[in-house]
Amino acid sequence: MTEPILGTMVPAMVTPFTDDGALDLDAAQSLANYLVDNGADGLVVTGTTGETSTLTDDENIKVFEAVVEAVGGRAKVLAGTGMNDTMHSAGLSKRAEAAGVDGLLLVTPYYNKPNQAGIKAHFEYIASATDLPVMMYDIPGRSVMPIEPETIIALSEHPNIVALKDAKSDYQSTTLVLANTDLAVYSGDDGLTLPLMAAGAVGVVSVSGHAAPRTYRELVDAANAGDFATARQKHFELDPIQRAVMTHIQGAVAAKTVLQWQGIIPSARVRLPLIAATAEEEAIIKADLAEAGMAI
């Protein structure tokens, strides 16, 4: 397996906003430090959970620079620069490289519905635009089109494509990739971290990791050490937290809400089309967290 040069416990970091919807770079730096202090060895910045689709390019760069300044050297910083415009994505990736990030997270181009040849050409073009290592992000639930395992295997030959964030929920497809490439595979579905690591994944890119970073660190470390009894215990401990963050409302909304309750960020503000959690949704989330022993 490829060395996990981009970390193993990698929160997909929210982008904090002020109550009026502006970037809160101080809160972003504080959150980055909190996550790294509590076990993260990588951070995805302005990915899906970071609300990249409602950030301008300049805002993306400001967040990259702020997080690199805060935790660069202590954790790998991956810039979410994937979009459905190949040239735009390549240009933003070049700017991210200049901002000092350690790698790129590139999602499958969404909405356009390219065929597999188009998907392959998209990733190859962007991966060739910089010298940074690339983590592909396969999430057909959002992008519509999957990256088929044969396409992933072919893309693994590109020298800059070193990792895959797998959110396909197709264990057979992931098995083919693990058996036929040296990609560092990451669970992109919090609840599947344990089974994917049992098959050879190196870690997780997590949304729920905001709420319980130390426990995710313990799960990943145990699984990588082959201690699956401990990993299974941590998996069960994390289950109600994963339900709280991932199953009731959109993940960025839930993660920000929990982080605000914990006093880690000052505001749970999200940008439209996302909206704040309702009182009823908050009650359900709190019930799951209480099951996990988290008093909010």
Q: Which residues are catalytic?
A: 137, 165
Q: Mapping DSSP to helix (H, G, I), strand (E, B) and coil, where does residue 223 land?
A: helix
Q: Describe the crossing of helices 25-37 and 57-71 by its angle, rounded to 10 degrees.
A: 40
Task: Count Cα atoms within 13 angstroms, Cβ side, for 106.
Answer: 39
Which segments of the chain does DSSP mark as H helices, in order? 25-37, 57-71, 86-98, 116-127, 140-143, 149-155, 171-180, 193-198, 213-224, 228-246, 251-261, 279-291
Do the Cβ atoms of 207 and 11 come closer than 8 Å? yes
- How many residues would you count in the chain? 296
Which of 92, 115, 101, 50 shows the shortest CA–CA distance to 72? Answer: 101
Residue written as token pair 């499958």: 108
Geometric angle at alpha carbon 16, from 110 and 141, rounded to 5°: 25
130-161 b/e (C-beta count within 10 Å ≥ 16 → b) = bebbbbbbbbeeebebbbbbebbebbbeeebb
Distance CA 9, CA 13 (A): 12
Do the Cβ atoms of 195 and 228 come closer than 8 Å? no
Distance CA 61, CA 282 (A): 32
39-55 b/e (C-beta count within 10 Å ≥ 16 → b) = bbbbbbbbbbbbbbeeb
